[in-house]
Structure 1
């Protein structure tokens, strides 16, 4: 049982959950995988119901999963995801409509394997977005419309969408999503958002969309952080810069790796992979006390920042429920053991959860 005395208040808090403690600040969410959506992972499903009031589809709503072949949609798992949110009165976020990384190959090519024309790709985008968003109209509250279109230096990523359509693919995606569900909130989502170059690039892109009258409701800052990167002040500058655009800010994919990085920037470019080395997997059997202390302090530093800017942040979402579910275990080096989430491999709340609850009540 967790018991705290709140500063300035004689009331004690007993067994409070994350969603109860944070309800007056922002929504607290988690990503759901297939085992949780289908109910096979009963322990994780229990945690989601008890602790979180927002969910996001980890993989089942990405275009490669929903439309692996042209015109053949596979909605079974996505339908179950939406039904779970509805049955448990949880905010549902759809992720993601347009993303270069998990788009099916057919999206960009003709029968001969050559790149399709600009007109064909625009039509395919429109059909996909209209079909998906239209199916869940009035049921999925928010959509990550475009994911990871800006590089760390602020330039546009030269994805197939960009190469064939140009930067207008972003505007078109938002227009198509708005046509399909005028009431849904529409977001742009990206990683390394504390990088000054990316911050400036995203601001330029959003300002251009706004000047053209395009509906964009928010910006998602993927929170894939480490013990030493990014600098928290740079993260804060991005929260402030994005909020100044008049849109909501979300922390969309929060996790905290304790493992060494094979590069310097600690980004989240999922196409990068490195070979396994024992020195890159220093904690296969558990974390030393000093690392636990550093982990707790880092999470509390960031939640303190989120609470400071509660007037700007509408949602904070963890990218997974418990450590065994995290993509961090296999990326960017397969076979490692990481500890990035708030619940451990026994599906028990870590010490830091009680600290976050206490912090939120101060």
Structure 2
């Protein structure tokens, strides 16, 4: 009888040990997952790279990229003012390194951006005498630029932002130089030129403040118009430049659904969360806006208070839970920067501030919310 009791006790101990070991292993596996591993069956997780990173000056930041992201986009080096600052003189040195890095590490490479009213060199709209070019000449320059860039990376860059930020918050088209000289059909022409340059590439329209109802409807109207004309458009990019209290997450969700209902892919293309006060009520990302520095507009120059850090983590997790809810509609989520220190938010719309908008801190350490996102993905 005593022997039987010992056998039962031994068996219970073995079972208990096995159960504990399995549980501990499960917890360890969850903690060891990186962002890209946790999200691999959901959507791509990407980040934007700046010139210094591409040129190899910040190797520790590139380790974060290699470990956590499976998609990359160039923050600035593929914009026309960087690629071709003077007419006919292309400089692909940084862009080539950017693409090579993505290929070396088996990442999906996103091209940003072909046609944009901002960061376009002045010569693009002027003739040799300084006069405004004709519609025909600007269309020719657009086609030449799109063809030159896309054919260089044909088969290597699979997705492109063809037109960037052409719709205003009220839903109307921006009266940019492209619009003024060519007309509203500059958007149609840009997509046609892009499809001709690389018929296999996925072509996106990209914009900010897409959760504003009027702007959402304007973009839906634009995409429908292109589709009705037989123009190839494969996706809509939603820039995720948000704050702690804007936009309403419900409105952001409505836009994901509305764009997906068009039968195109949807990507969140430039995700970050500013914790700093805004100098104006606009929730957009108009890069030309700037304001004078004032100390009260830079409240966390030395350290982020625990209460604000908690609010950031909660806000970020809420959005990633939204993304996971709609994983069937979303192709990729891209952070606009690698760590807090190199985010554009530190200099816009007020230069010289200290912001904390990304998933990795200035020491390249993951914030608490990263583990929470990984756990949410597992659930």
TM-score (ref. length: structure 2): 0.92
| Structure 1 residue 311 displacement after superposition | 0.5
| Structure 1 residue 265 displacement after superposition | 2.0
CA gap 1:10/1:295 in 2 versus in 1, 3 angstroms: closer
Q: Which one of 341, 346, 354 corresponds to residue 363 of structure 2?
A: 346
Q: Distance in 2 between matches of 1:356 and 1:266?
A: 25
Gaps of 5+ in 1: none
In structure 2, the residue matched to 1:116 is 133
| Aligned pairs (5 A) from 1:40-79 | 40-79=57-96
Matched, 1:132 2:149: yes
Matched, 1:21 2:29: no
In structure 1, the residue matched to 2:97 is 80
In structure 2, the residue matched to 1:290 is 307
CA displacement 1:14-67 (0-9 Å, x = unmatched)? 311000000010000000011111222101110000000000011000011111
In structure 1, the residue matched to 2:164 is 147
Gaps of 5+ in 2: 1-21
Q: Which moved more, 1:11-20 or 1:250-259?
A: 11-20
TM-score (ref. length: structure 1): 0.97
What number of residue pairs does the alignment pair up?
Answer: 356
| Structure 1 residue 356 displacement after superposition | 0.7
Matched, 1:257 2:274: yes
Q: Distance in 2 between matches of 1:144 and 1:214?
A: 15
Q: Distance in 2 between matches of 1:59 and 1:265?
A: 24
In structure 1, the residue matched to 2:176 is 159
In structure 1, the residue matched to 2:352 is 335
In structure 2, the residue matched to 1:201 is 218
In structure 2, the residue matched to 1:276 is 293
In structure 1, the residue matched to 2:191 is 174
| Structure 1 residue 10 displacement after superposition | 8.5
Runs of 4+ in 1 over 4 A off after TM superposition: 9-12
- Of structures 1 and 2, the larger Rg is shown by 2
Q: Distance in 2 between matches of 1:17 and 1:181?
A: 33
CA gap 1:11/1:39 in 2 versus in 1, 3 angstroms: closer
